[in-house]
Chains A and B, each alone.
Chain A
Amino acid sequence: MNGLSLHRKIEENTGLLIFGILVVSAIGGLVQLVPVLNQDSLEEPTSNTRPYSAVELTGRDIYMREGCSVCHSQQIRPLIAEVERYGPYSRAGEFVYDRPFMWGSKRTGPDLHRIGGKYSDDWHRLHLLDPRAVVAESIMPAYPWLGEREASEAGNITAKMRGLRRLGHPYTDEEIAAAEADLEGLKEIDTLIAYLQLLGTNFNEEEETNE
């Protein structure tokens, strides 16, 4: 048998054709995806990556809700220009508690992966409520409602943490029980700032040797 007669056989037999297509198109996934799913090192958090607290988790959900990732990426690529501008490039282990990832793919504004600690809370507050108050030429939209809405009403935090625990995030019963109280009295903007200030701070340079 050669390729041509094989061709003929397959083309004249629909069942065989479907089977062949499935096999061939599965190979890419079998090589690229399956081994990675079984690679523990990608699920290993960097030594000081921890699950988001109730407050930070709420801030993260607001980040998702407001679509910040439409304009901001959260992944610093291993390129000199990016490392010089934003800081150490992003490691897989820093994202193990991100479900889903906020990596994004578009940079209308700067990357935010290492924004934590770069500015003060005061600055973030002014900037989120009205970006033009601090950056005259900014084209980022203003989010005035973040300063008015109660954080405790931004979704059911207890259910969220339970769900994440089922997926393997190590929350304790006490943390989940205290979650609602943690949000008491906070506005949405407070939680978003807490989230921004945590971003990218879970990485220490010493781990950089682990290439």
Chain B
Amino acid sequence: MADMQTGFWAGWIAVLTLVSLAAMGWLVWSIYFGRDSHEETPEEPVWDETLEEGHRPPPLWWFWLLFGAMIFSLIYLIFFPGLGSYSGLLDWSQGARMADSMENFDARFAEPRAEVAAMTLAEIQNDLNLMDTAERIFRRECSVCHGPDGRGQANLFPNLHDVDWQWGASPEQIEQSIRGGRRANMIAWQAVLGEDGIDRVAEYVQVLGSDAAAGHEGATQYQQTCAACHGADGSGNVALGAPRLDDDIWLYGGDLATIRETLQNGRYGVMPAFGERLDDFQIKLLIALLAR
């Protein structure tokens, strides 16, 4: 798609191509049909008494093959770009072909896409074919992180089929997660809490949501530093992507060692944005798949 050659080099290409084509044409023609092409030349050397050098022209079908190839090249160069800056009778270009096939492609799927756009999520969810498509899109685009079944993996990529939604479970919130991606940001708390503080708060986080939380020695520090995001009762905040801490569902892990690690180093989970990679149709199907 590099643009066409212009100026001197365009002429260079055109002249060299045409001259060598003509030279080859002349050569082949004259070998077969030239003046002395069929005469015997008597002064041929003779080797080893009987071995004579002959010069009978090669079979005639060779001629037609070569000649045909030359005619083909000439016709090709008339219709397609090839001769310097001449763009050919068909005005063909790789870029235009791409744009064309993209248009055809879009037109071919315009109807089912429009149908899906007009459907409600519940209707999509009841359509087995569409849900099958949705699952295939999920497996192709999302499963390397969220796992083949969407149940999360590696303690880094969340389960998308549980009740706990870090960034919100509504179709709008899920759409935002997919289109724009999500960047969670929880800084490291080592400097703020100190070694002892980390121990106390980690333990408190573990018991949050149970009776043992009342009067726990980590409660004060939790309320001071963590409640702003995770909520006073640990119920989380979907606007900030701060997860619930009062249940048994964990992304990175709910054992004491992992919680301590989370607090010491901070956590910066990244969900990439898919708004550019997927089209509206695919995104809607994914929302229907996840918002069940």
Binding site for B on A (CB under 8 A): 2-8, 27, 30-31, 34-36, 38-39, 41-42, 78-80, 83-84, 87, 89, 91-92, 117-123, 126-127, 133-136, 211
Contact = CB atoms under 8 A, between A and B. Distances in A.
B20 A4 contact: no
Contacts of B20: 27
Contacts of B3: 41, 211
Given A118-B277, A134-B154, A31 B17 contact: yes
Size category, B interface: 35 or more
Nearest to B141: A118
13 contacts: A2-B34, A3-B30, A4-B30, A5-B36, A27-B16, A78-B95, A78-B97, A83-B102, A87-B277, A92-B2, A117-B272, A134-B154, A211-B1
Interface stretch (B21-29, B124-132, B160-168, B172-180): B21-29
B29 A3 contact: yes
Interface string B220-232: 0000000000000
Contacts of A39: 2, 5, 9
Interface string B70-107: 00000000000000000000000111111001100100
Contacts of B17: 31
Contacts of B145: 119-120, 123, 134
A39 B102 CA distance: 29
Interface of B: 1-3, 5, 9-10, 12-13, 16-17, 20, 26-31, 34-37, 55, 93-98, 101-102, 105, 144-145, 148, 153-154, 156-157, 269-273, 277
A171 to B, nearest CB: 26
8 closest pairs, A vs B, by CB?
A: A211-B95, A2-B34, A3-B30, A120-B270, A35-B9, A2-B30, A3-B31, A78-B98
Given A3-B34, A119-B272, A120-B269, 9 more contacts: A35-B5, A78-B1, A78-B95, A79-B101, A80-B98, A92-B2, A120-B271, A211-B95, A211-B96
A122 B3 CA distance: 40
Nearest to A30: B16
A122 B270 CA distance: 8
A113 B145 CA distance: 20
A118 B30 CA distance: 62
A contact patch SS = helix
Contacts of A117: 272-273
Nearest to B24: A24
Contacts of B97: 78
Contacts of B101: 79-80
A88 to B, nearest CB: 10
Nearest to B39: A4
Contacts of B34: 2-4
A6 B29 CA distance: 13
A177 B171 CA distance: 51
